[in-house]
Structure 1
């Protein structure tokens, strides 16, 4: 059975109640994306709303990272790269951004039309309002304040393709009966039927394309991040409703982006810091440039 959903302006929100299944986590690509976007079904990026710029993504030890500034508002920007509708179930700090539930891939999400782009700017409060996403201390994050601090510091997007109705089968064709023929002696004989070819092979339904990787066996060992996402000020953001039937219960793609302050990411080696410029070694013996006075060559003192 189908559930109905919301959306922002032209963007529709939708989902279908699907059987629970383990998410298939998309493997990140081992490079820094210059444009700050990742994903194939949809291109996902994080936008600083103060400047309008997409924040650069850093790839470090199998994870994508983005640096946030405490107090800055941000948005999750998603672009549908497909010529069909795609649903994106989004989570921040392990919380569904639409329903406020502890995030699961079978929950409600935003439905994007073909080639559509939209910024998700906050926690959905109603059909017309959101509470802005805002970088804040981990203890002031919405997840921590609602008793769910374990997954603070991560943004996730699970993407689903839509089930396409199969065309009706063509009408059956009546078999053609061959005419009998007579041999040279006038005796009537019928054409013998060809023998069947051994045992018929059983037709097996094609397996669904589950996303390849297994869910992580356990929680990643990591220090608690210093940044989380606060429940910011209320803003106007209109949403519509639609229905969406997933092609399969497990996501076709999952994107995960972790975040923290720039200072912490530099200290952890996520953001590379260029080495300081080399200093000229002070030579032994006389110096070629012992002073730094400017001007022209003065006259020498008089001889005695």
Structure 2
């Protein structure tokens, strides 16, 4: 299935990354039920391409996490849940997966038709090729190798609704007035034309006024990137694969995203150590039977012991 690219840049923004929190000790173990998809406009999941399974998504202290396996290829699976086109600007490790730029929400993205589902499997190299997403050590990630290690370990999807064309206003029909001869004279027609022209001028002025705040919002939409320590797992620039796309146009309904999904990832060992993935306590085996203080419980008195001879 072909994907379509968005080719017009808007306001720039960035998705920040934060460091993992240490696990706090708890007396009672409460098992969590991880989900596999998150998102409202689009359902986002991470797929292990080796097994075809969607990785469990764990929620820990307000953030979503998945556990990756070093060397495993993965895909970002997106399902458009709406009955309209949605554009998704995707980033991995703080890098736009299409352009390779340091990611911003105003950059190029993939356009999904209504109810469409597709797997984004790698860094876009051309209209026909990608370099596969592959879990690897943070130092071998594409972001680190290109001098951008601060946001390694996070997947981001910024979603935009499409601006729908507004229907044209109904024509203004002036109330007719009869001239002194009982008809509709040329002066009345000239007045009608003049009124219509002034109405168009006012409409254009109103459009210019409404465009000014939008331009101001675009210029002030840049957000400062927040640095964070690099997790131990990142996404490498994997082997080349065939993947075709086409191009289309898409006008966003607004410059800021309608929804942003962020999924952090690391190795399972690190997530267990950080308390993201809860581990049940070891099972309690039944104690072996020991000497019983009342093995017989028969009534009576203490008998004599048997004789030795």
Tell me whether the two structures share a fold, i.e. TM-score over 0.5. Answer: yes
**Structure 1 residue matching 2:157: 3-state secondary structure:** strand
Q: Residue in 1 aligned with 2:6?
A: 14
Map 1:91-130 → 2, pairs under 5 A: 91-130=91-130
Shift of 1:101: 0.4
Shift of 1:281: 4.3
Q: Residue in 1 aligned with 2:154?
A: 154
- Given that residues 151 and 227 in structure 2 are in contact (C-alpha distance below 8 angstroms), is that contact kept between their aligned partners in structure 1? no
- Given that residues 3 and 244 in structure 2 are in contact (C-alpha distance below 8 angstroms), is that contact kept between their aligned partners in structure 1? no
Structure 1 distance, partners of 2:288, 2:35, is 44
Distance change in 2, residues 1:176/1:33 (3 Å): farther
**Structure 2 residue matching 1:272: 3-state secondary structure:** coil
Q: Residue in 1 aligned with 2:235?
A: 229
**Structure 1 residue matching 2:6: 3-state secondary structure:** strand
Q: Residue in 1 aligned with 2:36?
A: 36
Q: Residue in 2 aligned with 1:81?
A: 81
Map 1:123-138 → 2, pairs under 5 A: 123-138=123-138
1:171 aligned onto 2:137: no
Shift of 1:22: 4.5
Q: Residue in 1 aligned with 2:190?
A: none
- Given that residues 128 and 237 in structure 1 are in contact (C-alpha distance below 8 angstroms), is that contact kept between their aligned partners in structure 2? yes
Q: Aligned pair count? A: 245
Distance change in 2, residues 1:276/1:125 (3 Å): same
1:274 aligned onto 2:280: yes
Unaligned runs of 5+ in 2: 17-31, 178-205, 295-308
**Structure 2 residue matching 1:255: 3-state secondary structure:** strand
Shift of 1:60: 0.2
- Given that residues 23 and 251 in structure 1 are in contact (C-alpha distance below 8 angstroms), is that contact kept between their aligned partners in structure 2? no
**Structure 1 residue matching 2:158: 3-state secondary structure:** strand
Distance change in 2, residues 1:120/1:287 (3 Å): farther
Unaligned runs of 5+ in 1: 1-8, 26-31, 178-202, 289-303
Q: Residue in 1 aligned with 2:257?
A: 251
Task: Give deviations 1:43-64, integer Å, cap 9, x for gaps.
Answer: 1000000011100100001100
Structure 1 distance, partners of 2:12, 2:230, is 28
Shift of 1:16: 2.2
- Given that residues 227 and 260 in structure 1 are in contact (C-alpha distance below 8 angstroms), is that contact kept between their aligned partners in structure 2? yes
TM-score relative to the length of structure 2: 0.71
1:46 aligned onto 2:46: yes
Shift of 1:66: 0.2
Structure 1 distance, partners of 2:6, 2:273, is 41
- Given that residues 89 and 108 in structure 1 are in contact (C-alpha distance below 8 angstroms), is that contact kept between their aligned partners in structure 2? yes
Task: Give deviations 1:19-71, integer Å, cap 9, x for gaps.
Answer: x255699xxxxxx7754111111110000000111001000011000000000
Structure 2 distance, partners of 1:148, 1:262, is 24
Structure 1 distance, partners of 2:51, 2:113, is 27
**Structure 1 residue matching 2:104: 3-state secondary structure:** coil
